[in-house]
Structures are given as C-alpha cells and as structure tokens.
Structure 1
Amino acid sequence: MASNSQVLTKQQNTSYVILIAIAAALGGFLFGFDTAVINGAVSALSKAFNIDSFMTGFAVSSALLASAAGAWIAGPIADRQGRVKTMVAASILFTLSAIGSGVPFGIWDFIFWRSVGGVAVGMASVIAPAYIAEVAPAHLRGRLGSLQQLAIVVGIFIALLCNYFIASTAGSAEAPFWFGMTAWQWMFWAEVPPAVLYGLAALKIPESPRYLIAQQRYEQAGVVLKKVLGGDVEAKIDEIRQTVMTERKPKFSDLLSRSGGLLPIVWVGMGLSILQQFVGINVIFYYSSVLWQAVGFSEKDSLLITVITGVVNILTTLIAIAYVDKFGRKPLLVIGSIGMTVTLGTLTVIFGGASVDAVTGNPTLSGTAGIIALIAANLYVVFFGFSWGPIVWVMLGEMFNNRIRAAALSLAAAVQWLANFVISTSFPPLLKNFGLGSAYGLYTIASAISIFFIILLIRETKGKELEEM
C-alpha cells in the first residue's frame, strides 16, 4: 500500500501537471478568441473602409492563410528553439496583432495585422497540444490533451461575450467607446491582456523534457520529470533518449503510394478536414452577428445570440470529451452528420422562402420563422459540437500509422485552414448575390455527403493502439 506521503506527492505532481497544461492551453484560448473576435466587427469594418462583399470576406479570412503558414513553421521552430520560446513568440505576435488591428489606416493595413495574428494562431494550434502531450503522464494525457479544444471554444465564447458587452455599452460597433475610440477597435484590443498573460505564463512553465533530452540537457530534463512524475526518473530519461535517437524527421514522400499518388488513408484524412469546414461551421462563428442582423434582429440581439451560441458550443464540447471513449468516434460522427443535415436543411428552407426587404435586399423572417431559424442554428452547433468539432481532431491523431502520422497531420491541418479560408471568403459574396438560402443549401449538401463519407470510408479507432493503425 502507498503511504500517505506517496499519495500526497502524487497529488502534488498531478496538480503541477494540470497547472502547466492550463498555461500552455492559453494558446488555444487565444486561438479561439482571435478567430472569433472579428464576428462583432464585420459590419462596422465594411462601413469604416467602404469595402465590397468580396473584400469583407477576404479581410475576415485572410488570417486563415497566415494560420496555415504559422502551423507550418511552428514545428521546426519548436524543435530548434524549444517549446517555451515558441509560445513566447506566439504571445508577442498575438499582442502585436491585437494592437495593430485596432488602429488600421486602411483595409490592407488591417489585413496585415490580422495576418500577424493568423501566424500566431497557427503556431498555437501546433505547439500547445504538442507541449501538453510531452509533459503529461500517460494516465492524464487524454484529458489534458482535450484542454486545448476546450480552451479554443472558451476563447470563442469570451470573444463573443466581449463583443456583446462593448457593442451594447457603446450603442453599436461603430459608436465611440472609451477615450473616443470606436467600439470595434476595443473589440480587438480586448485580446491584449490574455495575449500578454500567455507570454508571462509561458515564461513560468518548464521546457518540455522531450526537447531537453533531444538537446542532451539530461539534468534539466530530470528536474522537470521529477516534478511531473515523481520518484526515480532515470529509466524514463533513458526511454525518451532511445526514442529520440531512433526517430527520423517525417518526410512528405512517406505519404505516397508505390504508384506515386497519395496513400488512400491520407485522402480520407484530407476529406475529413475539408468536410469539417464545408458544413459551414465558421460562418456561424465569424459572421453570425451579420447573419442575424440580415434576417431582422437588432445588432444588440444578434450579438447576444452569438454569446448563447458560444455557450452551447462549450457545453457540447464537454459532452464529446466525456463520451468519445464510451460511444466511439464513428457513431458520434454519423449522428452529428445527420443532425447537421436536418438543421441546415431547415435553415435553407426558411431563408430560401423568406420575403426580401426591398431596401436592404436581405430576407425578413416573421416571428415564428425567426424562432425556428434560431433554434435550428443552435441545434446545428450542438450536433457539430459533440461530433465533427472535436472528434475530427481525435480521428486525425489516431487514424494514421506511426511512420506517416506527423507528415499526414501537417497536410490535413493545412488543408483544413485552406478549406476554412474558402468557406469564410465565399460567404459574403454568396449572401449578397444568391441569398442565405443558397449559401445554407451548399452547407446542407456537404453535411449530407459527410454521412456517406463516414459510413463508407471511416474505420472506428476506439480502443485500438496507435501501432494497430
């Protein structure tokens, strides 16, 4: 039996690991905050810079292309400079982006600063889960790894809540707020405190023991491992050292079959990434305030609806974390796809059949139709939130074998950012030229395709060792 002192030491080790994992997951929080904060400022930006629907879409989504670049460079930087320094660099970029986005001289200036934040988002999307995986003991790795996804959806919610508070206090996103600056500027500046906190927290946490051992800094690695695991850590150091010595850098040529094309499993991973974005989820998080204003809700009510949607997203992510190992990946994805198809189909019918305002050209919904649309949109977030949101990332981490996992994940992540860019850029022109009904019709088709994609092409990974893939 373990003595009381041993139990206490283990609890202290666990508490320490949880604290440093939370500090690292602040990168995920900023990931969510930075990508969602644009939501409340879209309409005000369009008017402030007098830009058309295409430029509005590009201004919103330009950061996504930079995110792909940030994700691409984060791995090599982290391997050369360490995980902690990479987090600090991302913190600095988040801070500069937040300040610069609030004081642009023109739309291209704004796009530049948003792209700086996009690089930080890409870096955070790679470095936070990698760091957590490398410091967490095996029995805590799954739950601590899920902190990243939870941090992202909390970041989205806090961004939407800040937007609502600022716009409702000022009167609108275009109105003056504190010190004579407009409300939409303060929406971006609200990111500065958590961005600075992320950097300060990164400076307080230890470097990854895996990185330290790769740099032959064994004594420092031993100190970190003792705090994390407790007891004698020499065997663990030797185990990591052997792994590091036998590893080779992943190459994209590993993803090719003998005939020269991509391996079938890589195509499946890319398909998952594309469909996750083509069902239109980020239209909800980037444009929902514009969407609800387009169908007759006031700006204040539209922003409040987005806050409610953010809460729904957090709750459903918690459901996924709790049940993914119980129900399996494939059943949750199929249920999510069916639910999204039904709810998006409902929105397509409602928006497609709505009367059009002669002045604005936007559809107008009666009381009942507006309530049904509101319920359907939030149910859509529910179905996405417990399935395609978190579980696609779980599947991408599990479905590839050890030899190709790193390279295949990098490719799938880059494809996902590009798909996100396509959907986010295309929504304003779709809304203007074809209407909400047509836009949601396309997302409904993607959701319907996803049902058959999962049933026919996805293998269940629940309960399987990674070596079995």
Structure 2
Amino acid sequence: MSSATLERSIGGENTRLIILISCVATIGGFLFGFDSGVINGTVDGLKAAFGSDAAVTGFNVASMLLGCAVGAWFAGTLADRYGRRTMMLWAAVFFIVSAWGSGIATSSMEFVVYRIIGGFAVGAASVMSPAYIAEVAPARYRGRLATVQQIAIISGLFAAFLSNYLLAKVATSSLAPLWLGYEAWRWMFWIELAPAALFLIALCFIPESPRYLVARGLRERAGTVLARLYGTDQGARKLVEIEASLAEDHHRPRLSDLLSKSTGKIRPIVWVGVGLATFQQLVGINVVFYYGAVLWQAVGFSEQDALLINVLSGALSIGACIVTVLLIDKVGRKPLLWVGSAGMAVSLALVAFAFANGSLDAAGKLQLSGNMGVLALVAANVYVIFFNVSWGPVMWVMLGEMFPNQIRGSGLAVAGLAQWGSNFLITWTFPMLLAGIGLAAAYGLYAAAALISVFFVLKFVHETKGRELEQMEG
C-alpha cells in the first residue's frame, strides 16, 4: 500500500476504493441489461429453430423473467444469510451457464431451462448490485453511484443491441450461419460469456457489505471493511451507527420483519416498494427492450433498420442516465419520478395515436404514413429518454436505500419478486396483444399506467435524498 493510500485509509474516506468496488458490482447490472436485451435480436431465430407460434414465442422470450422473479426473491432473502457478495458470485456463475446453454439449445424446453437459469442470475443481480452499492457508499453521493447501476444496465442493453446488429449484418441475417456453422442468433448469446467471466473474477477482489457483516454479528470483519472504506475514525463511528440501527432487533434479519409489530400487518414501506417495482414495468418499457426488432418490423421497417433503431434507443438511454447521475443527488428522487411518469404518459399516448392512424396492407401488416412513422419513432425514443431519466435508475436507487437495515434483504426480495412478476406479465402478453387488440391499444394501456403512476408517486413516495441508511424508517 502506498503512503498516500495508507494516509487516506487512516485519516478519511477512500473514495477511489468505494467507486471501484461499486463499479465491480455494476458489472452485474451490465449483464442484467445484456441478458435482457440479447433476446431482442433472436426472436426470429427462435421461431425458425423451434417452430413456435406467438404464444410459445412469447413464453420463450418471457421465460427468463420467471427465473428473475425466483432469483430476486431468493437472492434477497439468502443475502441476509450468506452475504451480498456471495449472491453476486452465484449470479456470475449462472450468467455463464445460461449464456452457453441458450446458444446451444436444440428445443424450446432446453432453451427455456437455460433462460430460467439466466433469470436466476438477472434477478439476483438486479437486487444485490444496488443493495451492495447503497450499503458501501456515503449518503452524499450514494444516488449517483447507484444510478451508475442503471447506466450499466442500459450499457448492457446497448452492447446486446449493437452486437446483435453487427452479427446479423456479418451473417446477412440472424437466421444465417456465422462461425463454426452456427447461426448468428446463437452467437448473440455466446458473446455474453466474456463479461460474465470478468464479473466472476472481479467479485473475488471486493469486500463483503459491512452492514451485512454487522447484522450477522461479525463486528471485527465489519470494522475492518469500514476502516478501508472510510478511514479508521469515521469507520469506527459508522460501525456504532449501524449497530445502533439494529439495536432494537437483536435477532438476525428474517422475512417476518416485514410485518409491523404493532398491527401485525405488512409495513407500509413494503407496499411502496412493491408499487415502485410494479409501475416500472406496467409502463411497458421492456416491450421496447425485448421486442424492439419485432415492433419496428411490424410497422414496416426492415430487420436491419429495426436492429439499428434499437442501437439508437440504447445510446439515448445511456445519455438519459448520465443526466440522472448529475441530477439525482441535487433535485432528489421523487421529482425525477413524477416528471418521468408525466413525460412517459404523453409520449406513449403519441405512440398509440401514431399506430392508431396506420393502415393494414394486403398481408395484414400495419403500415404507417411518413408523418405517422416519424411521430411513432420520435415519440417512442422520447419515451425511452423519460424512462431512463426517471423510473429506470431511480426505482433501483430507492429500493436499494429506502428500507431500514433490518428489513433491506427481505424488502428487496418482495419488491424484486413484484418487479419481475409484472415484467413477465407484460412481456408474455405483448405478442398476444399485438395479434389481438393491436399496437395502438397496447400502447394505450401502457400510457394509462404511466398516468396513474404520477399520482402514486405524489401520494405515497417519500424522498430519501441525503439520508443515511440508518435513518430510514419502515
């Protein structure tokens, strides 16, 4: 250790180390995004390889989300027993297994099994990465570091969209053979092996969450980690604060802590977490992420143009998240949420309007006029921007920090289950909505959900900006 590093660890906060280990945790977010987005370019390949209809294709795409719900639930609860870092290590292993297996699958059943394994990893990473960051970062820039998680998610989506586009372009289509005689859509999954291996290796070099260590009674180890992060003096003070926040409940965290001692009912903070998690999906964002190629082809774009539009959406999303990094610790979480909800409601309504003014060709395919096509494309990307300035990053930031120390793992488990359950519902039903009521009506439903979320935020969500985790109340 250099003399400068030694002096910093004794006398004050080691900001560089905090940022470094937070960035390692966000690799889980990158894989979350990549694994979620890679399916976007493989839908045609799945249909051709497995001969699936709309309902089966929808289940093939959405199957990962069942694993996500299970992964979020068990990662949240098991993290209180085995640690945040341990759960992320298991997630890395599952990412590797899923990436290989999804590409090599020869049947829908085999593919679904591997995608569910990937879902375990995504679900675990989705709740553990923001929880870990929240538990190691100081309050004054915790929001910014936690927002980097969303940038990582969107970067993963962007990387998946870009690699899908390039692989399909090299092979001439996602269905054409690429290298070693395997179709391009299979290689789209195998690209994920590289970042998954990096995540596994990097996790071996970061410490466990100090708040978890205190909750497990490992006071000496927690003190060592806190001293590395904040310096000897500040680390000792932080250790006392964490112990004080847990003093009222001497038992180890458990699921029953979500119930109020006075009423026996579920704590209100849990319902707010469930509401945040659910509304993030009811606005239909993952229809854009998972079915973007299908959606744009449905309104007349070619496969190459549709994949390129996905790349554009991914780039805009990253830019929007960078704006959030600059704003979240200044203006707070709540204003970003309700402004984002209002913006999504308007832009989704415009998308629905554009689709409603399209016409069907002889093959029954929706065609948009030049003006309506431009309106749909612009409004859809404005919607993506509003989502990634607000609900995309802010929901995960709030879930990572809003629960008191005693119930953080259990609260994340319940909220994560709700988030991925609603994600599955939206993703599975979209192909059926597309074939049934059409794009305009489907987007009208998402617009209505965005409008309702404005009132939910204004009435039920409380600001967490600048508050220490030990100050959170349930």
With the length of structure 1 as denominator, give the TM-score of the two structures. 0.90
1:388 and 2:391 are equivalent in the alignment? yes
Residues 397 and 190 (structure 1), Cα distance of their counterparts in 2 relative to 1, 3 Å cut: closer
Q: CA RMSD in A?
A: 2.9
CA positional deviation for 1:265: 4.8
Determine which structure has greater relative contact order: mean sequence separation of CA pairs < 8 Å that are 6+ residues apart, divided by chain length.
2
Supply the distance in 1 between the matched residues of 2:328 and 2:86 (Cα, whole angstroms): 33
CA positional deviation for 1:387: 1.6
With the length of structure 2 as denominator, give the TM-score of the two structures. 0.89
Residue 102 of structure 1 aligns to a residue in which SS? Answer: helix
1:299 and 2:319 are equivalent in the alignment? no
Please, which moves more after superposition, 402-411 or 191-200?
402-411
Q: Could you tell me which of 348, 353, 356 is aligned with 2:352?
A: 348
CA positional deviation for 1:373: 1.0
| Equivalent AA in structure 1 for residue 420 of structure 2 | W
Which residue does 2:68 correspond to in 1? 67
Which residue does 1:142 correspond to in 2? 143
| Equivalent AA in structure 1 for residue 389 of structure 2 | F
- The Cα offsets for residues 225-257 of structure 1, whole Å up to 9 and x where unpaired, read as 443233455565566566667553243464369
> In the alignment, is the contact (CA less than 8 A) between 1:222 and 1:234 conserved in 2?
yes
CA positional deviation for 1:44: 1.9
Please, which moves more after superposition, 244-253 or 51-60?
244-253
| Equivalent AA in structure 2 for residue 305 of structure 1 | I
Q: Could you tell me which of 355, 364, 371 is aligned with 2:374?
A: 371
Which residue does 1:14 correspond to in 2? 15
> In the alignment, is the contact (CA less than 8 A) between 1:254 and 1:403 conserved in 2?
no
Residues 24 and 364 (structure 1), Cα distance of their counterparts in 2 relative to 1, 3 Å cut: same
Which residue does 1:202 correspond to in 2? 203
Supply the distance in 1 between the matched residues of 2:138 and 2:457 (Cα, whole angstroms): 32
Which residue does 1:411 correspond to in 2? 414
Residue 91 of structure 2 aligns to a residue in which SS? Answer: helix
CA positional deviation for 1:40: 0.6
Which residue does 1:94 correspond to in 2? 95
1:312 and 2:316 are equivalent in the alignment? yes
> In the alignment, is the contact (CA less than 8 A) between 2:80 and 2:409 conserved in 1?
no
Which residue does 2:133 correspond to in 1? 132
1:454 and 2:471 are equivalent in the alignment? no
Residues 212 and 448 (structure 1), Cα distance of their counterparts in 2 relative to 1, 3 Å cut: closer
Residues 255 and 397 (structure 1), Cα distance of their counterparts in 2 relative to 1, 3 Å cut: farther
Which residue does 2:40 correspond to in 1? 39
Structure 2: tracts of 5 or more residues without a match: none
Residue 207 of structure 2 aligns to a residue in which SS? Answer: coil
| Equivalent AA in structure 2 for residue 277 of structure 1 | Q
Please, which moves more after superposition, 153-162 or 121-130?
121-130
Supply the distance in 2 between the matched residues of 1:215 and 1:450 (Cα, whole angstroms): 37
Which residue does 2:30 correspond to in 1? 29
> In the alignment, is the contact (CA less than 8 A) between 1:295 and 1:364 conserved in 2?
yes
Identity among equivalent positions (%) equals 50
- The Cα offsets for residues 271-296 of structure 1, whole Å up to 9 and x where unpaired, read as 33222211111000000011011111
- The Cα offsets for residues 135-173 of structure 1, whole Å up to 9 and x where unpaired, read as 334555333333322211211111111111111111111
CA positional deviation for 1:224: 3.6
> In the alignment, is the contact (CA less than 8 A) between 2:95 and 2:118 conserved in 1?
yes
1:441 and 2:463 are equivalent in the alignment? no
CA positional deviation for 1:341: 1.6
Residues 78 and 262 (structure 1), Cα distance of their counterparts in 2 relative to 1, 3 Å cut: closer
Supply the distance in 2 between the matched residues of 1:146 and 1:88 (Cα, whole angstroms): 21
Map residues 237-248 of structure 1 onto 2, 5 A cutoff. Answer: 240=242, 246-248=249-251
| Equivalent AA in structure 1 for residue 429 of structure 2 | S
| Equivalent AA in structure 2 for residue 58 of structure 1 | F
- The Cα offsets for residues 20-60 of structure 1, whole Å up to 9 and x where unpaired, read as 22112211111111111101111221122111111111111
> In the alignment, is the contact (CA less than 8 A) between 1:255 and 1:408 conserved in 2?
no
- The Cα offsets for residues 52-94 of structure 1, whole Å up to 9 and x where unpaired, read as 1111111111111111111122244434444433322211110
Residues 89 and 421 (structure 1), Cα distance of their counterparts in 2 relative to 1, 3 Å cut: same
Structure 1: tracts of 5 or more residues without a match: none
Residue 178 of structure 1 aligns to a residue in which SS? Answer: coil
Please, which moves more after superposition, 200-209 or 428-437?
200-209
- The alignment covers a number of residue pairs equal to 466
Map residues 207-226 of structure 1 onto 2, 5 A cutoff. Answer: 207-212=208-213, 220-226=221-227
Supply the distance in 2 between the matched residues of 1:362 and 1:42 (Cα, whole angstroms): 18
